[in-house]
A and B are shown apart, each in its own frame.
Chain A
Amino acid sequence: MKQKILIIDDEPDLLTYLKTFLEDQGYEVCCAGDVQSALKMVPSEKPDLVCLDIMMPIQSGISFYEHLRRNGLSQGIPVIIISGLNEEALKQWVQKLEAEGTIREPYGFLNKPVDLERLLAMIREVLPS
């Protein structure tokens, strides 16, 4: 059975790109263009991994992450952040998570434009076949 990855990003082109790439690598991929649709998809699709963008309209990826982690059914799902935000901004966010101590920090961070090899390596670490 194929492992399933949920990609959340408001850029339709990026969704198409990563979906095509990850399907080529043998994964099953589902996509969400905003946080609200992603939150609906988590219980129904039951993804093994989430690739999450941060800056999105209406609600940011941060609110999705916090929601995911505070929900008992989904809090174990590993998350890789794929963002255009600089590392400084992401570090601040991680520090905030650590300070709160309530939720785990994401599995990994990748900057846009995505280095596909690094992404694949990270996914294979998280989801060994």
Chain B
Amino acid sequence: MTETPIQPPISSRGSRGCDQWLQQWLCENLFDHLPVSVAVIDRERRIVNANFIFEQTFGPFSGRRCFEAYKHRSLPCEKCRAMGIFQDGKTRHSYERGVDRSEAPIDYLMHLTAIPGEDQDAEVKYILQTAMDITPWAQQEQEYRLFYEHAPCTIAVLDRDYRIVRGNPRLRSIFGSRLGRPCYEVFKNQSEKCLECPAERTFQDGGIYHALQTGQTQGGNVTHYFVTSAPLLQTENRVEQVIELSMDITQERVLETEVGKLRAVQESLIENSNRGILVIDPEGKIIILNPALERLLQRSKEEVHSLSDLEPNLPPFLRQIIREGRETCLLPGAPLVRARDGEEIPVRFTNVCLKMGQETLGYASFFEDLREIKKLEKEKLDAERLAAVGQTVAGIAHGVKNIIMGLEGGLYVVKSASKKQDSKLASEGWRMLENNIMKISALIKDFLNFSKGHEPQPQWVQPEQIARDVIALYEEAARKEGIILEEDLMDGIEKAPMDPQAIHSCLANLVSNAIDACRMSDPPGGRIVVSLREKDGSILFEVLDNGCGMDYEVKKKVFTNFFSTKGMGGTGVGLLTTRKIVQEHGGKIEFESMAGRGSRFTMVFPRNRLPGAAEKN
């Protein structure tokens, strides 16, 4: 079917003639020219006629029944309105959803009316179905309804008295079902309108306005929301209704406040930290340089913008660590930074990479000024040395007692021998006098050596070489005593800053003691193992023997004073001096011993505490 334009004859005049012609024309053409789908069904619901729009919309009508054409159903609809009309002849309207000729859903308003028969009383034989396609409006309405019901904001429609005339479910859940109440009462528990009211402005000029508002939920909690007001119902001169969309931003505001607080705390910590803090971004631009670091380096953060600006202050290896974002902690002794005035400052340096997930945000470095600690350490070392000297003075009195007794004894023996004319006893007395004079001389020399003290003179040496030298020195002496002297030296121990002579004398003292212990054991002889290894960043020299060992009382005295168990053989200064040297190298000396089983002396030197450990770096 093709659409033909309606062309009533212009020349037609006269009501009667015109009416007849018009009626005839309407009968012939109107059906097809109506802009809605029109169909006629019989009592079997077969479509007996339909217009052009119908066929355009629902496809050919011929041979189809209404439910097949409109809804592509094989059976009649459950609520068939047509059947009602066939029974009572009354017109009906309905909103329907069907399927169009291209299988797409279609929304339409259906108007059903009975076509009167020739005889007024006869039963209805035909029904006229008029279907108006409202699909675009229905879809729009559906979209609006979805938005209204599920929007992540509250929606309120206000009248000119600011009363809520409609509200979406979200509004009702937060502020309660209070339709008809003014918005300021519902949203804020206020009895008067707000001073800043976007709705008021919309009512005034029809514009769209935004505002941040603080309200109260029906549970009494403070809530923050972002309001947009827009005109909804507008007559020519004024806005009758305003729609208000309110986005709840309470959580964001809480987070914002929390972040603000955290930031304030963080800034305060950084600003007031005693440690110097440097933060750079991945490109090397300085983000934070706190006051403590400004004081340490005597640089102002205004004058340093990138890591390279700190070249005069940070040694190259430190800048490299920062630049590469290496996570590291360098302990005392290692890094030194330089202040503007040239002072080299020992620091404990920590570097961390700042990450969020996989993304590198930058690098943070912490500088702890160790000048005070170093000063305290030196004072402590001095105090320890003084205490050691004090103990030594007490100890020397003890050592001297034996010597005095030797001298007194020698004198007595010489006198007694002279009375008894015993020449053998007399020479024994003289030997006693000579021995004790030599002994007091050696003791005083050792004491002077100990008390004068000297700073270690560190050189980068192979610890293994020191151990080998000492072993070579005592090999012959041990062999003569029937003692096996063995070595157990770990390969690959790197050079370390040590005073080679001092460490040599310490190790020699321990080996010499071990030889004495083996000689004094019953039977004499035995085995000594000198070992060297590195463990957890510390170099360990160890001398193990299976000689006479020590019991509890002797062990207690080992480092306390000029105590010697070697009779005429020692002054008791050896272990005291050894401990002093080890301490001056930042190390410690440990020992374990069991009477009759042997002893183990271990000198432990943590690398990062060795004197001048930083120089190599």
Q: Which residues of A contact B (CB under 8 A)?
A: 10-14, 16-18, 20-21, 24, 33, 36, 54-60, 62-63, 84-86, 111-114, 116
C-alpha gap A11/B432 in the complex (Å): 11
A sample of 16 inter-chain contacts (CB < 8 A) reads A11-B405, A17-B409, A17-B410, A18-B409, A21-B412, A54-B553, A57-B520, A57-B554, A57-B567, A58-B554, A58-B595, A63-B553, A63-B595, A86-B398, A112-B401, A112-B405
Complex interface bits, B547-576 against A, C-beta within 8 A gives 1, otherwise 0: 011111110010000010111100000000
- Contact A36:B401 (CB < 8 A) given known A13-B409, A13-B435, A58-B550: no
Q: Is B408 an interface residue (CB 8 A)?
A: yes
Q: With the chains together, A60 CA to B552 CA distance in Å? A: 8
Q: Is the CB of B405 within 8 A of A60?
A: no
In the complex, A59→B522 CA distance in Å?
Answer: 13
Contact A17:B401 (CB < 8 A) given known A10-B565, A24-B416, A58-B548:
no
* B596 and A58 within 8 A (CB): yes
Cβ-defined contact, B554 with A16, below 8 A: no
CA–CA, A54 and B553, complex, Å: 9
A55 & B554 in contact (Cβ 8 Å cutoff): yes
How many residues of B are in contact with the other chain, CB < 8 A? 37
Closest chain B CB from A22 CB (angstroms): 11
Q: Which residues of A contact B406 (CB under 8 A)?
A: 11, 13-14, 17
Chain B binding surface SS class: helix
> How close is A12's CB to chain B, nearest CB, in angstroms?
6
Given contacts A57-B565, A113-B408, contact A63 B551 (CB under 8 A): yes
Q: Is the CB of B410 within 8 A of A13?
A: yes
Determine whether the beta carbon of A36 is less than 8 Å from that of B402.
no
Nearest neighbor of A53 in chain B, beta-carbon distance: B402
Task: Report if B425 contacts A (CB, 8 A).
Answer: yes
Given contacts A11-B568, A17-B405, 6 further A-B contacts (CB under 8 A): A10-B565, A18-B409, A58-B596, A84-B398, A85-B398, A111-B401
Pairwise interchain contact B436-A13, C-beta atoms closer than 8 A: yes
Please indicate the chain B residues that have their CB under 8 angstroms from the CB of A55 in the complex. 553-554, 557, 563, 565
A14 to B412, CA, bound (A): 11
Closest to A15 in B: B409
Query: Inside 8 A of B401's CB, which chain A residues have their CB?
Result: 84, 111-113
The one of A24, A63, A86, A113 in contact with B405, judged by C-beta atoms closer than 8 angstroms, is A113
**Interface presence of B510 (CB below 8 A):** no
Given A20-B412, A59-B595, does the pair A14, B554 have CB atoms closer than 8 Å? no
Which A residues are in CB contact (< 8 Å) with B345?
Answer: none
Cβ of B409: which chain A residues have Cβ within 8 Å of it? 13-14, 16-18, 20
Select the residue from B412, B425, B567, B568 with max chain A CB neighbours within 10 A. Answer: B567
Tell me which residues from 415 to 465 in chain B have a Cβ below 8 Å from any Cβ of chain A: 416-417, 425, 428-429, 432, 435-436
Complex CA distance for A21 and B549, rounded to whole angstroms:
33
Give the shortest distance, in Å, between B155 (CB) and chain A (any CB).
90
Q: Nearest CB to that of B411 among chain A residues?
A: A17
Give Cα distance in the complex from A79 to B549, angstroms. Answer: 26
A58 touches B405 (CB 8 A): no
Bound Cα distance A40, B563 (Å): 26
Known contacts A11-B405, A113-B405; is-contact A60 B413 (Cβ 8 Å): no
CB-CB under 8 A from A21, the residues of chain B are: 412, 416
* Whole-angstrom distance between the Cβ of A78 and the nearest chain B Cβ: 22
Using Cβ atoms and an 8 Å threshold, which residues of chain A touch B85? Answer: none
Indicate if the CB atoms of A36 and B416 lie closer than 8 Å. no
Contacting pair B548 A57 (CB below 8 A): yes
B404 interfacial contact with A, CB 8 Å: yes
- Give the residues from 447 to 503 in chain B that come closer than 8 angstroms, CB to CB, to chain A: none
**Nearest CB of B to A60, in Å:** 4
- Residue of B522, B557, B565 contacting most chain A CB atoms (<10 Å): B565
Whether A16 contacts B432 in the complex (CB less than 8 A), given A57-B565, A59-B551, comes out as: yes
In the complex, per-residue mask of B371-393: 1 if CB is within 8 Å of any chain A CB, else 0: 00000000000000000000000
Closest 7 interchain pairs by CB?
A17-B409, A57-B565, A60-B553, A13-B406, A58-B548, A112-B401, A113-B405
Contacts of B521 in A (CB 8 A): 58
Task: Decide if A114 touches B565 in the complex (CB within 8 Å).
Answer: no
Task: Tell me the bound Cα distance from A111 to B406 in angstroms.
Answer: 14
A23 and B327 alpha carbons, distance in the complex (Å):
78
Q: How distant is the Cα of A14 from the Cα of B406 in the complex, in angstroms?
A: 6
Q: Which residues of B contact A62 (CB under 8 A)?
A: 553
- Determine whether the beta carbon of A60 is less than 8 Å from that of B554: yes
Can you name the residue of chain A whose Cβ is closest to the Cβ of B404?
A: A113
> With contacts A12-B567, A14-B406, A84-B402 known, is A20 near B554, CB below 8 A?
no
Contacts of A85 in B (CB 8 A): 398
A85 to B409, CA, bound (A): 19
B413 in contact with A17 (CB, 8 Å) = yes
Chain A residues with CB under 8 Å of B413's CB are 16-17, 20
B165 to A: closest C-beta gap in Å: 97
Least CB separation from B436: chain A residue? A13
Most buried by A among B548, B551, B552, B568: B551
Give the Cβ gap from A97 to chain B, nearest Cβ, in Å. 14
The reply to whether B402 and A14 form a contact with Cβ atoms under 8 Å apart is yes
When chains A and B are docked, how far (Å) is the Cα of A85 from the Cα of B553? 12
Question: How many Å from the CB of B507 to the closest CB on chain A?
Answer: 22
B553 to chain A minimum Cβ distance, whole angstroms, is 4
Cβ contacts under 8 Å, B553 to chain A? 54-55, 60, 62-63
Interfacial chain A residues near B436, Cβ < 8 Å: 13
Q: Nearest CB to that of B567 among chain A residues?
A: A10
* A72 CB → nearest B CB, Å: 23
CB neighbours of A112 from chain B (8 A): 401-402, 405
Least CB distance, B589 to chain A, in whole angstroms: 20
Complex contact A11–B402 (CB within 8 A): yes
B564, chain A: closest CB distance, angstroms: 9
Give A104 to B305 CA distance when docked, in angstroms: 82
